[in-house]
Amino acid sequence: MNFIVMCIIPIFIATILIVGLKEKKDIFKLFVEGCLEGLKMVYKIFPYILAITVATYLLKSTGALDFILIPLRPLLTKFGIPDDIVPLCLMRPLSGGASMSVVMDILKTSGADSVSGKMAAIIMGATETTLYTITILFGAVGIKKLRGVLIAGLIADASAIITAIILVNIGVI
C-alpha cells in the first residue's frame, strides 16, 4: 500500500513528460516558463508568510496563545486536538498564504510526523481558501448576495477539520 502511494508522484511526472514528448511539445521550454510562474507565486506569497509567521510566533512566545486557549482547554483535551492546530482552523477559510505559513511553523516546531504536523498537513491539503474562492468567482460577475454558499462552504471546512483530527487520532496515518 505504502509502495503504491509512493509510486503515484514519480509515475505522474513520467506520464506528463512522455505525453509531452509524444505530442512533440517543447517540454524544456514549457518547464522553464512554468518555473518562472512558480517563482512569481513565491514572490507574491512571501509577505503573507512573513506577516503570519511573526504574528503566530508572537502569540506563542509571549504566552498569549495559552491565555486564549484557557476556555477551550477541556474541549481540546477531550477530543485530542493539539493547541497549535487551533489558529490554523480559524485562518484556513480566510487566507491561503497565512494558513500555509501556520502549517510550515507547525511542521518545523512539532515535526512533520508529529500528531499536530499530520493534522495540519491533512487540513491544509484537503481544504481551499473558501472566502477567497467565493469572492473571486462571484466578484467576476458582480454578485453580492451569497445565498447559502458561505454557510455550506464553512460546513464543508468544519467537516474536513473534524475528519482530519479523527483520522490522525485513530492512527490511520
Near other proteins by CB under 8 A: residue from 16, 72, 77, 80: 16
Q: Does 79 bind other proteins (CB under 8 A)?
A: no
The interface with other proteins within residues 132-151 (CB under 8 A) comprises: 133-134, 136-138, 140-149, 151
Q: Does 39 bind other proteins (CB under 8 A)?
A: yes
Nearer to other proteins, 84 or 127 (CB): 127
Q: Does 11 bind other proteins (CB under 8 A)?
A: no
Would you say the C-alpha torsion 2, 3, 6, 8 has a positive or negative sign?
negative
Report the distance separating Cα 98 and Cα 100, nearest Å. 5
Q: Does 101 bind other proteins (CB under 8 A)?
A: yes
Closest CA to 92 of 53, 37, 51, 131: 131
Closest CA to 116 of 86, 145, 96: 86
Q: Does 73 bind other proteins (CB under 8 A)?
A: no
Q: Does 71 bind other proteins (CB under 8 A)?
A: no
The single-letter DSSP state of residue 80 is T
Q: Does 44 bind other proteins (CB under 8 A)?
A: no
Residue 151's identity, in one-letter code, is I
